[in-house]
Amino acid sequence: MDFALASPTEQQAVVSRLDHREPWGPPNLRLVCLDIDDTLIDFTAAGRHALAALIGRADMWSLWERVTEEHVARVVAGEIDYASMHRRRTQYFLAELATIGMLVEPRDPAVFEQRRKELLRRYWRLFDDVVPCLEWLAAAGVRLAAVTNASGAHQRAKLADLGLARFFDHVAIAGELGVAKPDPVMFHSVCLTIGCDPAEAAHVGDKLDTDAVGAHQAGLGGVWLDRGRGPATVPDGVYVINTLAELPELLVCEFARVGVPGVPLPR
Ligand SMILES: [Mg+2]
């Protein structure tokens, strides 16, 4: 507004509005999103054990991880879908083993993948800091969403198997939505489902770029759960914790009206 041209009455009205503005304060926290694999569930340990049990040796995990990362990147880029990613990843992995003289059974990629998933389910374990953190968040009255880049209903089965389904108001699965973290659409779709502004939400995950930086750039509080992967260059505005036991204190410091017993937020 060009103040010099405003009439005395208009000037008084502007001053009055400024005088009665609400002071700035941190937003309420209405939603906490959590990644699943390697955030809630020790997925790397389970994957490592399952692969070793399947192929009879433990030194091929880094190859499996590299092949997986390459194929997931193609899903995130929209080049292939999750179903073909699983098939192609296993085909590629088995072909790589063959080049070093390892012919493992089963050779059919679909059967191999099915057996691997059965073994994975046997080895899934929660990290020790998960249940106390989820219980605190539930008591604090925030809504909870699990937000994963994995595919399919097995993610829900995983949460149910480990007794976590009761905590979550919503489960967002990239393979079902057709979009994956760090795309802001993934984070915004969860906020829309819950009915909150991105500024009223935080997302916590073990991958710095996919989880924490992606969430931060989408307007949520981005929290990197560094379970010992560091060191890394963390952009300004992205929070870092080393265990979920540190999450309550971080949220209380950065958001208003969270962790106040008996003062639940509107649901
Ligand atoms: Mg993860």
- pLDDT of 18: 58
Choice between 205 and 3, residue whose per-residue pLDDT is larger: 205
pLDDT band at 175 (very low <50, low <70, confident <90, very high): confident
213 Cα–ligand 1 center, Å: 13
- pLDDT of 16: 65
Is domain 31-42+126-254 in CATH 3.40.50.1000, yes or no? yes
pLDDT, mean of residues 253-267: 59
- pLDDT of 260: 46
Computed over every residue of the chain, the mean pLDDT equals: 87
pLDDT, mean of residues 197-220: 96
pTM comes to: 0.80
- Taking only the tens place, the pLDDT of each residue in 17-34 is 656 666 666 778 999 999
pLDDT band at 4 (very low <50, low <70, confident <90, very high): low
40 Cα–ligand 1 center, Å: 8
- pLDDT of 152: 72
- Taking only the tens place, the pLDDT of each residue in 101-150 is 888 888 898 999 999 989 988 998 999 999 999 999 999 889 999 999 88
- pLDDT of 259: 47
pLDDT band at 203 (very low <50, low <70, confident <90, very high): very high
173 Cα–ligand 1 center, Å: 12
pLDDT band at 177 (very low <50, low <70, confident <90, very high): confident
pLDDT, mean of residues 44-62: 94
201 Cα–ligand 1 center, Å: 18
pLDDT band at 254 (very low <50, low <70, confident <90, very high): confident
221 Cα–ligand 1 center, Å: 17
pLDDT at 67 over 90: yes
Q: Where are the domains of the chain?
A: 31-42+126-254, 44-123
240 Cα–ligand 1 center, Å: 15
CA dist 42 and 40 (Å) reads 7
pLDDT at 245 over 50: yes
Percent of the chain with pLDDT over 90: 61
148 Cα–ligand 1 center, Å: 7
147 Cα–ligand 1 center, Å: 9
pLDDT at 264 over 60: no
- pLDDT of 20: 62
37 Cα–ligand 1 center, Å: 4
